[in-house]
Amino acid sequence: MRSRMGMLVAAGLGLSLTSCTQVAKGLRAANLGEDANRVAAAAEKVQSCDKLKVEPAIQEEYALGSALAIHWAQQGGGLMLSGAPEEKLNTYVNTVGRNLAMQSPRPELRWTFGVLKDAKRFNALSAPAGYVFVTHGLLQGVENEAQLAGVLAHEIAHVVLKHALHQYVSVKVSTCKGAAVTGAVVSTVASKVVGASRADGRLDLDSDTGLMGKMVEGTVDAFGKGHRKDEELAADALAVELLLSAGYDPREFSRLLERTSGGGGFWENHPKKEERQERIAGLLQARRENADPLARVDVASLQRPALPASFTATVGPGKKPTGVAKDAK
Amino acid sequence: MRRWTWGILMLAVGVPVTAAWAVKKDEKLYVKARNTRVLKSAVPTADVVAVLQPGQQVTWKGADPKNAQWHQVTEPGGKPGYVFQTNLSTRPPDMELVAKDGKTRSIDPAAFVSSGAAVKALSPGAEKYGKEKGGGYADAVAQIKKLEGLALKVTPVEIDAHVKQAGLFPVVAPDTKLGPQAKKAVK
């Protein structure tokens, strides 16, 4: 008994040292009995879960993005859509945002930009499939259109680079592995996720609201600390490209960052604002001095348009931002 | 997830992480935005030679010596003309929604114009999910549907007018006929 348990423990340790496939094959070959076969079966299922690490299909992205957008709207106190002035505000934000998005590497998404009622937080959020939200509080801290464009471009970049989808895929894999380790696929959700790991790795979220709820809420939880530092920096870099493409001055985005409190605490994953500003300045400098005529930027041609009078009238008086000028999620 | 895994995935789907330049004369470049106009001369009001869609390629001839923001190209039909600098890219856009085979790299520019309407926005499953959760979630469903209606009304026509008013770059353009451009007042 002792030696059999010892071998199983050794096999268990082996799970972290070698591939699951090798462990499973070894255990089965050793013919150690039912316990070993269960460990082997679990190892095979865990291995199979890695097949979920594929880019979700576009329909899956739309389903996830739609449900996340519902969450962000609910958590932001709803959307500012009461009356003509607030509708006009959303139309303006969509004009600025869609101009940028149509110049992005994913111009074909149904890009939708909205203003959340939340006036306390200085925040912007995005969801797969092209949903971007800014809080009322953020708009109160914006001084010109180039600053607004900077925030929107950063969120567009998160969608283009599929950062939230990566979180979602991690949730799929962990759900699958959880079912594999516990040894039983007791729920419909776990059954569907494990089933997907044996097929093409994709889930039909639209067909099952229970499945959608589990996956979406898992993704919301996974977003607790925001995106990773490298993802934030990549989003800044693409945002600068979008701003330059449209003719906005990226230094205004940097100025907006200057007025925020920076990372740390709950925002520990976010890079420091000084690092972000340094990189933005470096990217602009590189484009300014680029010898290639296709890449070279004439900084004098870049704009920082004034906000329309209707914007200020609807948003209210400006105030100093008190949070981080980036994604809460 | 380990970063190298995502790096491979990103490469596999062709998502550009950083811009790459260094184009040479007679090399092919991609058009980025919808209704990209190839103009007869290097001014935004010049006659329209061709209208291109994202993913279509032009042959790059060089920057205009008098105005480096305009670049001389040959459009796919072989006609020479000028395209605004930031409408050109060394990398193709992702066009997964219009790919005939469902894969990401098969570009069908002709299908692009109608592709926006091909995909329903708020998905039916998400709508049902939000309504079942009730309360603020059900309200959010109704609000997002209303917002999507507003967003859809912001077409390249409205964007073009705003861009002109704000002095931004003429990248996104409305549907354009070939020949002389109609002169419209900026709103």
Do both A25 and A128 map to the same domain? Answer: no
Residue B13 pLDDT class (50, 70, 90 cuts): very low
Distance from CA of B40 to the nearest CA of A (A): 19
Residue B92's domain comprises: 21-113+157-166
Distance from C-alpha of A189 to C-alpha of A124, rounded to nearest angstrom: 31
Which tens digit of pLDDT belongs to each residue from A6-65? 444 334 434 443 455 555 556 556 666 666 666 666 666 677 888 889 889 888 999 999
Residue B14 lies in a domain: no
Residue A96 lies in a domain: yes
| DSSP string over A313-328 | HHH-S-----S-SSB-
Contact A140, A80 (CB under 8 A): no
Do both A127 and A236 map to the same domain? Answer: yes
Could you tell me which of B166, B29, B133, B72 has the C-alpha nearest to residue A74? Answer: B133
Q: Does A258 touch chain B (CB under 8 A)?
A: no
Distance from C-alpha of B78 to C-alpha of B155, rounded to nearest angstrom: 29
Do both A47 and A92 map to the same domain? Answer: no
Within 10 Å of residue A133's Cβ, how many Cβ atoms?
29
Residue B59 lies in a domain: yes
Total domains present in chain B: 2
Answer yes or no: do A294 and B88 touch at CB < 8 A: yes
Q: Does B13 touch chain A (CB under 8 A)?
A: yes
**pLDDT > 80? residue B108:** no
Distance from CA of A109 to the nearest CA of B (A): 7
Answer yes or no: do A246 and B90 touch at CB < 8 A: no
Residue B4 lies in a domain: no
Instruction: Work out the mean pLDDT of chain A and round it to a whole number.
Output: 84
| Confidence (pTM) | 0.85
Residue A22: what pLDDT?
59
Do both B98 and B120 map to the same domain? Answer: no
Do both A158 and A299 map to the same domain? Answer: yes
Which tens digit of pLDDT belongs to each residue from B51-107? 999 889 999 999 999 999 999 999 999 999 999 999 999 988 887 766 655 555 555
Residue A190 lies in a domain: no
Answer yes or no: do B15 and A105 touch at CB < 8 A: yes
**pLDDT > 90? residue A105:** yes
Structure tokens at B75: 């459009």
Q: Does A96 touch chain B (CB under 8 A)?
A: yes
Do both B44 and B105 map to the same domain? Answer: yes
Which tens digit of pLDDT belongs to each residue from A122-149? 999 999 999 999 999 999 999 999 999 9
Residue A7's domain comprises: 1-52
Cα–Cα distance list, B136 to A45, A71, A73, A83, B130 (Å) = 39, 9, 9, 19, 9
% of chain A beyond a pLDDT of 90? 58
Residue A259: what pLDDT?
80
Q: Where is mean pLDDT largest: A130-134, A183-187, B103-107, B110-114?
A: A130-134
Q: Which residues in chain B have their CB less than 8 angstroms from residue A248's CB?
A: 168
Reported ipTM:
0.84
Answer yes or no: do A305 and B167 touch at CB < 8 A: yes
Alpha helices in chain B (DSSP H): 3-13, 109-112, 115-118, 124-133, 135-152, 156-166
**pLDDT > 60? residue A264:** no
A126 sits in which H/E element: strand A124-127
**Mean pLDDT within B103-117:** 57
Residue A322 lies in a domain: no
What is the DSSP code (8-state) at residue A247?
A: T
Residue B71 lies in a domain: yes
Do both B108 and B120 map to the same domain? Answer: no
Q: Does B182 touch chain A (CB under 8 A)?
A: no
Residue in chain B nearest A60 by alpha carbon: B123
Which tens digit of pLDDT belongs to each residue from B128-179? 999 999 889 999 999 999 999 999 999 999 999 999 999 999 999 888 888 8
Residue A9: what pLDDT?
36
Total domains present in chain A: 2
**Mean pLDDT within A276-291:** 95
Q: Which residues in chain B have their CB less than 8 angstroms from residue A58's CB?
A: 96-97, 119
Distance from C-alpha of A286 to C-alpha of A282, rounded to nearest angstrom: 6
Residue B183 lies in a domain: no
Residue type at B54 in one-letter notation = P
**pLDDT > 70? residue A276:** yes
Q: Does A133 touch chain B (CB under 8 A)?
A: no
Interface of A with B in 4-33 (CB under 8 A): none
Do both B84 and B43 map to the same domain? Answer: yes
Contact A93, A114 (CB under 8 A): yes
What is the DSSP code (8-state) at residue A56?
A: P
Residue B70 lies in a domain: yes
Q: Which residue has the higher pLDDT, A292 or A23?
A: A292
Do both A243 and A97 map to the same domain? Answer: yes
Distance from C-alpha of A142 to C-alpha of A90, rounded to nearest angstrom: 15
Cα–Cα distance list, B8 to A251, B4, B54 (Å) = 32, 6, 25
Dihedral angle of Cα B105, B107, B112, B118, to the nearest 10 degrees:
-50
Do both B109 and B120 map to the same domain? Answer: no
Do both B72 and B161 map to the same domain? Answer: yes
Distance from C-alpha of A167 to C-alpha of A129, rounded to nearest angstrom: 14
Comparing CB atoms, the residue among B22, B152, B154 nearest residue A95 is: B154
Residue B180 lies in a domain: no
Q: Which residues in chain A have their CB less than 8 angstroms from residue B166's CB?
A: 145, 303, 305
Burial pattern B161-180, b for ≥16 Cβ within 10 A else e, equals bbbeebebbbbbbeebeeee
Burial environment of residue B76 by CB neighbours within 10 A (0 to 12, 13 to 18, 19 or more): middle
Distance from CA of B133 to the nearest CA of A (A): 9
